[in-house]
Chain A
Amino acid sequence: DGGITQSPKYLFRKEGQNVTLSCEQNLNHDAMYWYRQDPGQGLRLIYYSQIVNDFQKGDIAEGYSVSREKKESFPLTVTSAQKNPTAFYLCASTPGQGLNYGYTFGSGTRLTVV
């Protein structure tokens, strides 16, 4: 079955450590996205990519970095510059970019700073 796989499901980060969240899709979608979800809030866009080797900052990109070397993969690195990284992270994809494309989401990664 086609879908998005995020790993790990739970991740613990020490202060000053970089961590990478994995996102892989087999839907042949061109566009991929990373969202952050905090309790009581909606989703906020971190980064998105419309095509391989290209990506753009979203609303809260500071302290995060991404790469898109393959169509299927869009990993997110949470760097030590991100001062409050504890949150639930969701990866999503769409066939392309348009007003009528609904997202397909992965099952998420819950990141906790210890």
Chain B
Amino acid sequence: AQKITQTQPGMFVQEKEAVTLDCTYDTSDQSYGLFWYKQPSSGEMIFLIYQGSYDEQNATEGRYSLNFQKARKSANLVISASQLGDSAMYFCAMSCYTGGFKTIFGAGTRLFVKA
């Protein structure tokens, strides 16, 4: 069965430092997509970055990069030069096709950026 695991309920990082948020996934599909979303305290979920299962290069979007290790089934999010505005919940998600397109979300990691 498909599953997303985020093992860090909460993380602290000093402003201007880099931080890695962990995500492991489980699927027997060959084709799938991996996503990261940010949820500030306002509640709206914001799409950050996408990685396809066949993409050989790690995805990057500004200060966000996705460290994709296919053999380990991990899709960690790296945020460089953390800012106070990065304090939020972060969700890892996987899209797959099992009798229909489906997206599965992890439980999330709360990131606190310290000044």
Chain A residues in contact with chain B, CB under 8 A?
Answer: 40-45, 56, 88, 90, 92, 97-108, 110
Main DSSP-derived SS at the A contact region? loop
Q: Is the Cβ of A99 less than 8 Å from the Cβ of B42?
A: no
A98 touches B101 (CB 8 A): yes
Interface residues on B, range: 20 to 34
User: With A99-B31, A99-B32, A99-B97 in contact, do A41 and B107 touch (Cβ < 8 Å)?
Assistant: yes
Task: Contact check, A99 vs B101: say whether CB atoms are below 8 A apart.
Answer: yes
Question: Does more than half of chain B's interface fall in helix, strand or loop, or is it mixed?
Answer: strand
State the Cβ distance, A83 to closest chain B Cβ, in Å.
23
What is the chain A residue whose CB lies nearest that of B95?
A99
B8 within 8 Å of A (CB atoms) = no
Contact indicator A108/B43 (Cβ below 8 Å): yes
Interface string of B93-105 (1 = CB under 8 A from A): 1011100111111
Cβ B50 vs Cβ A100 within 8 A: yes
What is the bound-complex CA distance between A107 and B46, given in angstroms? 10
Q: Which residue of A lies closest to B4 (CB)?
A: A42
